[in-house]
Structure 1
Amino acid sequence: MLNPVHLRTLLEVVRLGSFAAAANRLGYTPSAVSQQMTALESDSGIQLFDRGARSAHPTRAAEVMAEHAVAVLGELDALIEAAAGVDRETSGELRMSTYASLAHQIFPTLLAEQLADEPSLAIRLTVRDPSPAVQALRNGEDIDVSLVYRVGESGLSWPDSVSAVYLGEDRYRVLAPTSWKLHEYDIVTLEQLVGRPWIMHHSGNSDSDEIETLFAAQSLRPRVVARCDDFAVSAKLVASGYAAAFIPEAALRNLPDNVSVLQVPELMLVRHVWALCTQRGMQQPAQRLLQRLRETLAATTLG
């Protein structure tokens, strides 16, 4: 029997044209995608890729299988959602998933406001990155609302069975030690950042790929002295005078002293924030909470 996970991966490989692109979209490593495709060929008995030394191209059989997989996966998503909905209807809990920077900086205040208005509301919260959050939706996990983001032109694909509600932008900003005195300039140029030390994301996620692409397009070759995915830690390292960092605005609350937020027009990158809602997530009080989040994101913009 064919594995639906492998079919979904095949669909993305055919759509995007490579194992690496599909891996980025689905939250896997390229080697994991390759292993899934090998397993799918073994299970089906069909050659799906013409493999070279450094590339793999879908065969016509793979394209036909992907075309049919759209309908098959749509039916499976609907089946999972219908079955999960029965359980949700019997529960008074609102099940939510959010990613770390929202959970750390913004979500506690929103939850306090929501619970003050609706003290009987029970919220079960899971904190995880967008890739596993989307995988949980595909696997039928009981989540009513998943908060995720897309960066630049990259991003995850999600099941057709959920309603995607756009919440707003979360722009990246350059943080620098105040000791560099760059905050004295209304606009900071790329030339003023050349040769400076930087704290960058770990490689392999959509944030790091898009940031590195942006920096390369501007011919800015950062001198990377550290890699860190914890924005609070990065901000403290900036405050020490160690290096600059590139951090979303939603993570800039309660910055330590000796940190400056710079205006660098050439370095423009945005997280687009979405709420992936099941049928129950489209109802109240979930939508009231999402409206609060939408307003908070709009107010967070520094200009």
Structure 2
Amino acid sequence: MLRPEHLVTLREVLRLGSFAQAANRLGYTSSAVSQQMSALEREIGVTLFHRSARSIVPTEAAHTLARHSTVVLTEIDRLVAAAEQARNQSAEVIRLGLFPSFATWALPPLLQRMDPAARDGLRLTVGEPSSLLGQLGATGDLDAMIVYQVGQSGLSWPSSLRRHWLAEDPFVVAYPEQWPAPPSPYTIEQFLDLPWILNVPGTGDAAMTDAVFSRMGMRPRVAAYCDDLQATLGMVAIGLGAAPVPRLGVSAGIPDGVITLQAPWLNLSRSIFALVPAERETPAVTGLLQAIEEVMKDAPVRHSA
């Protein structure tokens, strides 16, 4: 049976005029090129080269075969391209929206667990839930999105979307390591006079945090308002203030200069779940959400005390 690589080698030998140059161009040895041409001659039963100690002279049969090989090799290239296209089309594309801190700590282990074909079909959009929600639905760009909600405040969504609960994420106190550590167990009195870094007023998260402090009779001294988790942790690290932060949100790593304290009085958590339009709840989407849930179960819980 004719081998396509032998036809490629034949064309290079004719184009360059020698076995040695063709070998250099194709990454073979001169001996390997000579063996390929001999095998091709045996296969078709025709002499392709007149060989001497110093040179090779191609026959007319060699030129004829090379001309016809162009058509054969072109069709082979088309066949390979068609097979690749069919493979890509057979893999379902899932367009997933996710919030930034989730992308930081959950996305790397999720991608490591996914089958390569499924990973190739994943399209990601990172943004805050409130900004991505409009892209989810019958006419939207997203097939599913991972969101969070603190209590019952803030985020709302159409009743046509199906909710898949993934995890409950309790808050801890991010505390500057340079400050004197309070003795455990941590009581509310130990935190009354601290400067705090809180969510920007007017957001759902800020409303829930304010409610917790109000229940405890606290009027926090606010050093900064910030809705970015990494920026908040950076300010805690330099000693600007303490901050309530979601435990899973810091599971990917706590910056130097920050410790986390599990304060029972905080009694605050956020629910993490997926929203999926009913018409887009395919087996592939369901499988992806199950993989996400497993990642969240296995997420390391990192805290200092």
Other-structure match for 2:277: 278
- Asked if 2 retains the 8 angstrom alpha-carbon contact of 1:110 and 1:289, the reply is no
Q: Structure 1's 295 and 187: CA in aligned 2 closer, same or farther, altered over 3 A?
A: farther
Instruction: Tell me the SS of whatever aligns to 1:188.
Output: coil
The superposition leaves residues 82-121 of structure 1 with CA deviations (integer Å, 9 ceiling, x where unpaired) of xxxxxxx9993211111111012222331232254x3563
Other-structure match for 2:156: 157
Worse-matched range after superposition: 150-159 or 249-258: 150-159
Other-structure match for 1:94: 94
Other-structure match for 1:126: 125
Q: Percent identity?
A: 33
Deviation at 1:166, TM superposition (A): 0.8
Q: Structure 1's 223 and 143: CA in aligned 2 closer, same or farther, altered over 3 A?
A: same
User: 1:120 and 1:207 mapped to 2: Cα distance?
Assistant: 32
Deviation at 1:208, TM superposition (A): 0.9
Gaps of 5+ in 1: 1-88
User: 1:152 and 1:142 mapped to 2: Cα distance?
Assistant: 28
Q: Structure 2 residue aligned with 1:227, among 219, 225, 228?
A: 225
User: 1:216 and 1:276 mapped to 2: Cα distance?
Assistant: 32
Show the 5 A alignment for 1:54-203.
92-116=92-116, 118=117, 121-137=120-136, 140-182=139-181, 185-203=183-201
- Asked if 2 retains the 8 angstrom alpha-carbon contact of 1:96 and 1:123, the reply is yes
Corresponding letter in the other structure for 1:137: L
User: 2:167 and 2:205 mapped to 1: Cα distance?
Assistant: 17
Deviation at 1:148, TM superposition (A): 1.1
Give the RMSD, CA atoms, in angstroms.
2.5
2:299 is aligned with 1:261: no
Worse-matched range after superposition: 96-105 or 174-183: 174-183
The superposition leaves residues 3-59 of structure 1 with CA deviations (integer Å, 9 ceiling, x where unpaired) of xxxxxxxxxxxxxxxxxxxxxxxxxxxxxxxxxxxxxxxxxxxxxxxxxxxxxxxxx
Instruction: Tell me the SS of whatever aligns to 2:193.
Output: coil
Corresponding letter in the other structure for 2:211: T
User: 2:207 and 2:119 mapped to 1: Cα distance?
Assistant: 43
The structure that has the greater radius of gyration is 2
Deviation at 1:146, TM superposition (A): 1.1
Gaps of 5+ in 2: 1-88
User: 1:141 and 1:235 mapped to 2: Cα distance?
Assistant: 34
Corresponding letter in the other structure for 1:147: I
Deviation at 1:134, TM superposition (A): 2.3
Normalising by structure 2, we get a TM-score of 0.63
Count of residues paired in the alignment: 213
User: 1:290 and 1:176 mapped to 2: Cα distance?
Assistant: 33
User: 2:93 and 2:266 mapped to 1: Cα distance?
Assistant: 41
- Asked if 1 retains the 8 angstrom alpha-carbon contact of 2:110 and 2:292, the reply is yes
User: 2:230 and 2:240 mapped to 1: Cα distance?
Assistant: 14
Corresponding letter in the other structure for 2:105: Q
Corresponding letter in the other structure for 1:173: V
Normalising by structure 1, we get a TM-score of 0.64
Q: Structure 1's 218 and 296: CA in aligned 2 closer, same or farther, altered over 3 A?
A: farther
